[in-house]
């Protein structure tokens, strides 16, 4: 097991990609803290699944955009396990709206969770990792942060900024043995994606833009996360890994 005896914190760990990452970390030997904001029942289900694998697990309620709650999550983890070896910043929100209609409230919410949340969690856990001699951080970005995605006026900028945040952390903390990488998923089978593509027609149009002609599975993103936080990726930091079925290279897919 590549993550044996590691302690992992996964924000947004109760659903979608976060759930898949929580379970993948446990399957590879890590004890897991499942961070969640509203879905307590789902978080407890993930905790139970992790424990069924013979690993320890906690479910911790946290709004990642609020510093005091992030600090409490870190303290809870340290009180229980004494260290943090892995952080996966998965918690995220989106608002589907033309740019001219994005409200200040929605902008602040998306930037607050996606960017500020990644910063607060990474800073708080990064301090722990620096003190203990090392660790690994994964930030979940999006293909919407690489190329403009219509009607994602707040989401795309937030994910683009997360990518740069990761690179800054990777460079600053490399000499402290803290590696930081970003995963940019394309369309993935999650509740968020279903809300963005609520009809079969919309889904079919989106799939047509993907050379592999399907949405990704959360487990496929989770497999990459396990690799990046394992010793197999010991010489990888500041990297942006796109997992999108070829979407970023699919210009001619639209006219083929």
Catalytic residues: 155
- How far is Cα 102 from Cα 105, in angstroms, rounded to an integer? 8
- Burial class from Cβ neighbours inside 10 Å (0-12, 13-18, 19+) for residue 173 reads buried
CA distances 80 to 58, 75, 76, Å, are 9, 8, 6
Contact (Cβ atoms closer than 8 angstroms) between residue 125 and residue 62: no
- Strand ranges (DSSP E) for the chain? 7-11, 31-36, 57-61, 86-89, 135-140, 178-185, 240-243
Q: Which residues have a Cβ under 8 Å from the Cβ of 155 and sit 6 or more positions away?
A: 94, 95, 110, 114, 142, 144, 149
- How far is Cα 232 from Cα 235, in angstroms, rounded to an integer? 8
């Amino acid at each position: 097991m590549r993550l044996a005896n590691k302690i992992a914190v996964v924000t947004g760990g109760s659903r979608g990609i976060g759930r898949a990452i929580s379970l993948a970390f446990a399957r590879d030997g890590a004890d897991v803290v499942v961070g969640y904001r509203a879905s307590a029942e789902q978080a407890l289900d993930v905790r139970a699944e992790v424990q069924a694998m013979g690993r320890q697990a906690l479910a911790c309620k946290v709004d990642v955009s609020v510093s005091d709650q992030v600090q409490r999550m870190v303290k809870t983890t340290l009180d229980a396990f004494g260290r943090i070896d892995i952080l996966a910043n998965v918690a995220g929100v989106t608002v589907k709206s033309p740019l001219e209609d994005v409200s200040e409230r929605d902008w602040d919410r998306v930037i607050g969770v996606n960017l500020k949340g990644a910063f607060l969690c990474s800073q708080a856990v990064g301090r722990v990792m620096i003190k203990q001699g090392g660790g690994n951080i994964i930030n979940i970005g999006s293909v919407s942060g690489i190329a403009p995605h219509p009607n994602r006026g707040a989401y795309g900028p937030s994910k683009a900024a997360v990518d740069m945040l990761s690179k800054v952390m990777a460079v600053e903390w490399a000499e402290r043995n803290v590696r930081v990488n970003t995963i940019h998923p394309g369309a993935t089978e999650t509740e968020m994606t279903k809300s963005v593509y609520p009809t079969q027609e919309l889904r079919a149009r989106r799939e047509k833009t993907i050379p592999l002609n399907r949405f990704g599975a959360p487990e496929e993103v989770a497999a990459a996360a396990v690799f990046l936080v394992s010793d197999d990726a010991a010489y990888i930091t500041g990297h942006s890994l796109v997992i999108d079925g070829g979407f970023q290279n699919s210009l001619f897919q639209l006219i083929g």
